[in-house]
Amino acid sequence: MQDIGEAFAHDHRRLEQALAASGSHVQAGHWEAAAAAFAGFRDGIERHMAVEEQVLFPAVEKGAETPLTAILRKGHRDLRVFFDEIDDALSARDAEEYGRIAASMRALLERHDEKEESELYPAAQTQLGADAAAVAARLAD
């Protein structure tokens, strides 16, 4: 049985690999493959963020937003703008723009994921208790 931290951290690593695959295709000039890989990354991270927003954040907030969840929600908003900008760069087949945006996005993801893994997931695991395994399983739905 996976706990919240284990399942979500594993998903972070899987998503990092999907994003890296998109970048490799861009470097090789394989734009259709890059777009397909990025679409897969985006589908996966949207599902990941949805579970966090719908289950984990409310679990630790207990009715009142905290500075931690406010910052993490802001991170999700910023990431979604970066996703749109990456889609624009892929449509324009602009490798320079893709590289610049992807670098910013990776830096944001690195800091965001670290905060989730060190602060959010342990708190959510405590609050969710016996329901944690079912929540972790939603990442694979």
Partner 1 sequence: MSEYRGCQLPEDLYYDLDYVWLRPGNDGLFTIGVTDPAQTMGGRILSVHIKKTGKTLLAGRHVATLESGKWVGGIPVPFAATIVERNEALLADPHLINVDPYGAGWIARLRPEDPEKALTGLSTGGPATTALKQWIDRYDVECMRCSD
Judging by beta carbons within 10 Å of its beta carbon (0-12, 13-18, 19+), is residue 6 exposed, middle or buried? middle
d(CA 29, CA 55): 39
Q: Using the rule CB under 8 A, is 85 a contact of partner 1?
A: yes
Candidate ranges 9-17, 30-38, 99-107, 120-128; the one touching partner 1 (CB under 8 A): 99-107
Name residue, tokens 């320079």. 96
Q: Using the rule CB under 8 A, is 100 a contact of partner 1?
A: yes
Candidate ranges 10-18, 22-30, 79-87, 118-126; the one touching partner 1 (CB under 8 A): 79-87
Contact residues: partner 1, CB under 8 A: 65, 67, 70-71, 74, 78, 81-82, 84-85, 100, 104, 107-108, 111
